[in-house]
């Protein structure tokens, strides 16, 4: 089945339209000034730093959670998202998942499998922190029903893509930009690359069906096919493709093909940023970013 689907996966896709700071203090009251700010959110027994940007004159209509890459540079991701905040009138929230508490197993792979290889209960998943972040930021902003979107790049794209398969965050849409490895909808590859080796309840057809119905956008820079020091060159990774762009295309077309074969709903979108490589700043600034997040009717101020 994997070989058959991969033959579809590498078909040419249809064209797609472009459209050192002091430690923060835990916030105990509604306090969200315009411009850049830092806060520490108490989420159960986890204190998580978040870097925020609130546009001047923000109308309080939407929030954008931005997931950093492997460098854990959430502050830079916030800074490089200011343009999105201004363009889309969006509150920017960039949480930091440090490598000490959130190594690859808990960040890129969401913590659904414990270090000993056993399945973790959903409340232990890193994914479960995302709706908690959204709720706490709504409180700080004084907007109880504020809708939110999630966009992650590179390692953050891996986090976002896998989260879409296993946890309903309540986000309007989840955008996985230039992930280094993708979650292929197949049990023929081990978890991380596919659904293999996971417990049945996390890898059966019902789970695959839910994944394919998720509001996921795979957002790819067409020039992101040059491997770097963080590029996964394992056998499983190389089975997905020789570069990030290739892997993203393969994942999308495998998902679309499987949904059509099974008669399942397909909620994914494919959006490309022509000529852009592995650069989150350029991906966020590109006109196609609005299409990836909001579809053809991308909002603006």
> How crowded is the C-beta side of 118, counted as CA atoms within 13 Å?
4
pLDDT at site 12: 41
Return the higher-pLDDT residue of 235 and 2: 235
Domain chopping of the chain, boundaries: 2-12+25-294
Confidence of residue 116 (pLDDT cuts 50, 70, 90): confident
Phi, psi (deg, nearest 5) at residue 31 = -155, 100
User: What is the enclosing helix (H) or strand (E) of 94?
Assistant: strand 91-95
Question: Distance between CA atoms of 102 and 79, rounded to whole angstroms?
Answer: 22
**Mean pLDDT on 111-136:** 94
Own/partner pairs for 120-125, CB < 8 Å, 24+ apart?
Answer: 122/167, 125/166, 125/167
Going by the DSSP 8-state scheme, the letter that residue 295 receives in this structure is T
Joined together, the tokens standing for residue 70 give 């492997």
Question: Distance between CA atoms of 112 and 271, rounded to whole angstroms?
Answer: 28
Question: Does residue 210 contact residue 151 with C-beta atoms inside 8 Å?
Answer: no
pLDDT digits (tens, 9 = 90+) for 146-159: 999 999 999 999 99
Burial class of residue 45 in the structure, from the number of CB atoms within 10 Å of its CB (0-12 exposed, 13-18 middle, 19+ buried): exposed
Question: Does residue 221 contact residue 180 with C-beta atoms inside 8 Å?
Answer: no
pLDDT digits (tens, 9 = 90+) for 205-222: 999 999 999 999 999 999
Please give the distance of CA 158 from its chain centroid, rounded to a whole number. Answer: 6
Helix (H, G, I), strand (E, B) or coil at 212: helix
Q: How distant, in Å, are the alpha carbons of 40, 57, 82, 92, 207 from that of 256?
A: 40, 41, 33, 31, 15
CA distance from start to end of the chain: 47
For the CA atoms of the chain, what is the radius of gyration?
A: 18
Helix (H, G, I), strand (E, B) or coil at 250: helix
pLDDT at site 10: 40
Q: Tell me yes or no: is domain 2-12+25-294 CATH 3.30.70.980.
A: no
pLDDT at site 122: 96
30-39, 102-111, 160-169: least confidently modelled range: 30-39
What rounded mean pLDDT belongs to the chain?
Answer: 90
Look up the pTM and report it: 0.89
pLDDT at site 15: 42
Confidence of residue 300 (pLDDT cuts 50, 70, 90): low
């Amino acid at each position: 089945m994997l070989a058959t689907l991969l033959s579809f996966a590498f078909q040419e896709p249809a064209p797609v339209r472009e459209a050192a700071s002091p430690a923060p203090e835990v916030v105990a009251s509604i306090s969200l000034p315009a411009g850049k700010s830092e806060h520490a959110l108490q989420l159960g027994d986890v204190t998580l730093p978040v870097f925020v940007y609130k546009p001047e004159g923000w109308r309080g209509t939407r929030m954008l959670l931005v997931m950093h890459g492997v460098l854990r540079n959430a502050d830079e991701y916030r800074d490089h998202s200011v343009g999105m905040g201004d363009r889309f009138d969006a509150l920017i929230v960039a949480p930091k998942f440090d490598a000490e508490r959130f190594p690859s197993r808990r960040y890129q792979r969401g913590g659904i499998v414990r270090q000993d290889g056993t399945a973790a209960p959903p409340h232990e998943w890193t994914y479960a922190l995302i709706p908690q972040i959204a709720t706490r930021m709504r409180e700080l902003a004084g907007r109880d029903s504020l809708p939110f979107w999630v966009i992650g790049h590179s390692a953050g794209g891996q986090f976002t893509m896998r989260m879409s398969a296993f946890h309903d965050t309540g986000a309007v849409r989840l955008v996985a930009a230039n992930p280094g490895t993708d979650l292929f909808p197949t049990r023929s590859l081990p978890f991380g690359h596919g659904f293999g080796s996971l417990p049945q309840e996390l890898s059966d057809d019902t789970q695959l069906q839910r994944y394919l119905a998720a509001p996921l956008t795979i957002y790819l820079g067409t020039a992101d096919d040059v491997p770097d020091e963080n590029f996964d060159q394992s056998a499983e990774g190389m089975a997905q493709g020789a570069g990030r762009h290739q892997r993203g295309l393969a994942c999308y077309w495998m998902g679309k093909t499987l949904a059509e074969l099974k008669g399942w709903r397909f909620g994914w979108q494919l959006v490309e940023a022509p000529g852009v490589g592995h650069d989150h700043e350029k991906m966020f600034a590109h006109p196609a970013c609005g299409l990836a997040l909001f579809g053809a009717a991308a909002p603006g101020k």
